[in-house]
Every structure is written in structure tokens, then in C-alpha cells.
Amino acid sequence: MRRVDGPDPVSIRIHEKLVGLTPNAPECCIFRVHTLLRNVNQKAYDPQLLSIGPYHRGKDGLRLMEDHKLRYLQLLLQRRNETSVETYIKAMRELEGRARRCYAEPISLTTDEFVEMMLLDGCFIIELFRKFEMLDLIDERDPILQFGWMFYSLKRDLLLFENQIPFFVLTKLFKMTKVPNQEGNLIDLAVLFFQVSLLPFGHHISASSHESFIDIEHLLALLYKSFTPPSVGIEDNTEEKLNSIPSATELQEAGVKLKKLQSGSFFDLKFNNGVLEIPFLNIDDGSESIFRNLIAYEQYGRNNDVKYVTDYVSFMDDLTNSPKDVELIRRQGIIENWLSDDEAVSTMFNKLGENVMVSNDYYAQIFRDVKKHCRERKNVWIANLRHKYFNSPWALISFLAIGFVMKSCRKQSTKN
């Protein structure tokens, strides 16, 4: 046994670590996605063209856009008849400490590097929003707006959980560069920018009067709050809690009819008289990335009492167990599939829920009602009857003929 004279060196070392430990900042809202979630599909969280914030800054393949950030800043200054960025740099220096605390991990950038990043990233985003809204700002030689694939990739990159800067930085720069009587507010510009040709549920985005727009953390949070319902409390129900629902084909066999919901929130499900109404969903190559990053935001969010996207994806995971399920839903007009085949949609939803905490609180009552309906033997019997005898004209004729013969036999036996 080692004899220690004086304070134990291990005790000293731990004490020094405790003294140097920084507390978790309440402003912290931008995280790196944890390994278990990231490993399911790493590409879904990595930018393709554009780095915003410090986590992906300087990576290979993303440096081309750094020149475009400088060009956008130059055009902004020219439009405002300014020759110096001194005023903007001063404003960013005042926000540096607060902005750093928004990131969950220590940032190795120096003060000057961090301030420069905020200015270039922030002005680029704001100018991109303005160009999309105000046609007179568009430069015909701008490749970002010329090439559809590039514009789409930038939209996608701006909604990555790890690829964010604090929204208050954008707000400050927007106010400093705003042209009076020529544009709306930043929230409206951002929502309009993202809802066109990107989101699988774009037509459900609400106006900026939504009360949850207070204290927006970043652009991904803004998008999330623009299409989710106002925060509601979930009733503490003592009834059986269900975490799953039968697949589409199983529901059909139990007499449940699937139908496209004609109006309402993207997260609305309605079940009445054996009919389950589901909102329309457009699935393309970018849908998985959008869903994964929205789920990541919910998983890390402190104030996300109801995990709308996570619960919805869990529901779709149950509903689309196989390509046959997807085909059934697609034929009902609930899904428009732009992927290679129905199996690709089924695989996407089946993997989206891996390593994700799911509650299904939002759909608990719907699940209970559906399960109750499926338990009733009469509904199963009617469903089997329809499946066997009413799927074709010849089956229906045979069924009616059998019924006619049986009725005639009963009449004859009565006479005898």
C-alpha cells in the first residue's frame, strides 16, 4: 500500500477538475447528435454544401460556399451604400458570449473567428431569404438560385440540427440591415422559404402569429414550431397505455378503413365508425433527413412535453411494416411516393424509430379506440366477408346465388 504524505494527489486532481467544471448553460440548445442516433444514418445529419455554425466549419466539400457567403455580404453592403462591416462586427462581439453558451460542446474558435463566423453565416442566411422573396435582389449569375439542386441542398442543410446559429443572431443582423417598407419580418421570410418544395407537409405550416414563436432557438426550432400544434398538456389517463397500432393490412383485415384526412393539422388522426383518417404525406429523397433532424430536436428539447414528430413517425412505423402496407396506404391517396418503390418507404419509417425514445402520448386515445374496434368480432367478420365476397363482381354474384339457393331451400322445407 502506498503511503501518502499530505493531501492525496488523486483528491487534488479531482478537486481541480471540479473547480474547472462549467455548469450547463440554460441557453444551451445546439447539440451534436449522439452516436446511437447518428450511426443509423450519419448522412442525414451532415451538410452537403453549406456549413452553418462551428460544428461542421472547415470540412472538405463545404468550402465552396464560404466564397458565396462573402459575395452575399458584399452585395448587402453595396445595396446599403456601406464600405465597412465595423458596425456589424461590434454588434456580433456583444453577442459572442451568449451565442457560445448556446452550443453544448466547447468551441475551439478564437473570439475573432467566432465573431466572423456569426457575421458571415447570419448575413448569408438573411440575404438568401430576401432573394427568395424579393425578385429585384436576384442576380441572374447567382448559381445558388440558378441551379435547382443547389438551392434544394441549401434548404436541407439549413435545417440540420447540428448546423445552426442562434436565432437572436439572425434577428439582430436582420434588424440592422432591414430596408424600411420593403420587407416583412424575419419569421415570415423564413417560413415562406422552407415551406416551398422541401417539406413533406408544407401546406400545414401556420402563420407567424403562432404564440409558440416566442424564444425561438434557431431555424430548425422555428420550422418545428411553425407546424406543430400549440403546447397542450397530456391527460394522466389510468386506462391501458398502448405504444403501438396494427399495420395497415392488419387494420384492413379487422374492418378498419384508411382514408386521407382532407383538412386539419399534419398531426391530426381521426377515428370514427371504423374509419381512420390520416393526413397526406409526400415522401422524397429529402424526407428522411427532415424527419431525423426534427426528431433529434425533440429528443434534446427541454420544453418539448409532447413529441409530435417522434410519435407521428412511430405511428407510421407501425402502420408501414411491409411494402404491402405502403401500397395500401398509397392507393388510398395518403402517401405520394417519390422513392424507388414501396419497400423504400417501409424501410425508411422502420429505421426512423431506432434508438429514439417514444411515448405515443399524443395518439394514446386513438390507439385505444382502434384496438377496441379491432377486438369486436362483428367488425372482423364483416371485414372478412367483404374481403372474400365483395372484391370482384363474380364473387358477389356467387355470394348472392348461394344466399338465393339457401333461401329457396328453407321455403321448400317449410312447405313440406
Reply yes or no on whether the pLDDT at 415 is more than 90. Answer: no
Residue 408 banded pLDDT, cuts 50, 70, 90: low
Q: How far apart are CA 171 and CA 235, in angstroms?
A: 36
- What φ, ψ does residue 335 adopt, rounded to 5°? -120, 135
Mean pLDDT for 163-178 is 96
Q: Are 362 and 234 in contact (CB under 8 A)?
A: yes
Lowest mean pLDDT among 2-16, 89-103, 104-118: 2-16
Q: Which of 23-32, 123-132, 263-272 tops mean pLDDT?
A: 123-132
Asked whether the predicted pLDDT for residue 311 surpasses 60, the reply is yes
CA–CA distance, 329 with 284 (Å, rounded to integer): 16
**Whole-angstrom Cα distance, residue 176 to residue 327?**
52
Dihedral class, residue 19 (left if φ above 0, else alpha if ψ from -120 to 50, else beta): alpha
How confident is the model at residue 399, as a pLDDT?
47
List CB contacts of 284: < 8 A, sequence separation 6 or more.
Answer: 200, 338, 339
Please report which confidence band the pLDDT of residue 129 belongs to, taking 50, 70 and 90 as the band edges: very high
Report d(CA 40, CA 335) in Å as an integer: 24
More confident residue, 99 or 355: 99
Least confident residue range of 19-33, 43-57, 121-135, 147-161: 19-33
pLDDT winner (highest mean) among 126-140, 252-266, 339-353, 356-370: 339-353
Residue 412 pLDDT greater than 60, yes or no: no
**Mean pLDDT for the chain?**
84
Per cent of the chain over pLDDT 70 is: 80
Does the pLDDT of residue 387 top 70, yes or no?
no
pLDDT of residue 9: 83
How would residue 263 be classed by pLDDT, with cut points 50, 70 and 90? Answer: confident
Over the stretch 54-102, which tens digit does the pLDDT of each residue have? 999 999 989 989 999 999 999 999 999 999 999 999 999 999 999 999 9
Contact 29, 102 (CB under 8 A): yes
Percentage of the chain beyond pLDDT 90 is 55
Query: Do the beta carbons of residue 370 and residue 276 sit within 8 Å?
Result: yes
| Number of C-beta neighbours around residue 223 at 10 A | 25
Higher pLDDT, 268 or 297: 297
First to last CA, the chain: 108
Q: Does residue 385 carry a pLDDT above 60?
A: no
Spatial distance between the Cα atoms of 265 and 278, rounded to a whole number of angstroms: 10
SS (H, E, C) the chain: CCCCCCCCHHHHHHHHHHHHCCCCCCCCCECCCCHHHHCCCHHHHCCCCCCCCCCCCCCCCCCHHHHHHHHHHHHHHHHCCCCCCHHHHHHHHHHHHHHHCCECCCCCCCHHHHHHHHHHHHHHHHHHHHHHHCHHHCCCCCHHHHCHHHHHHHHHHCCCCCCCCCHHHHHHHHHHHCCCCCCCCHHHHHHHHHHCCCCCCHHHCCCCCCHHHCCCCCHHHHHHHHHCCCCCCCCCCCCCCCCCCCCHHHHHHCCCEEEECCCCCCCCCEEECCEEEECCEEECCCHHHHHHHHHHHHHHCCCCCCCHHHHHHHHHHHHCCCHHHHHHHHHCCCEEECCCCHHHHHHHHHHHCCCCCCCCCCCHHHHHHHHHHHHCHHHHHHHHHHHHHCCCHHHHHHHHHHHHHHHHHHHHHHHC
- The pTM score is 0.85
Q: How far apart are CA 80 and CA 98, in angstroms?
A: 28
The pLDDT tens digits of the residues spanning 233-249 come to 555 555 555 668 999 99
- Does the pLDDT at position 48 exceed 90? yes
Answer positive or negative: Cα dihedral of 140, 141, 142, 147.
Answer: positive
Q: How far is the CA of 31 from the CAs of 45, 116, 136, 169, in angstroms?
A: 12, 21, 37, 17
Q: Is the pLDDT of residue 231 over 70?
A: no
Query: Taking a C-beta distance cutoff of 8 angstroms, is the pair 212, 225 a contact?
Result: yes
Tell me the CA distances in angstroms from 220 to 131, 151, 204, one per residue in order: 20, 17, 16
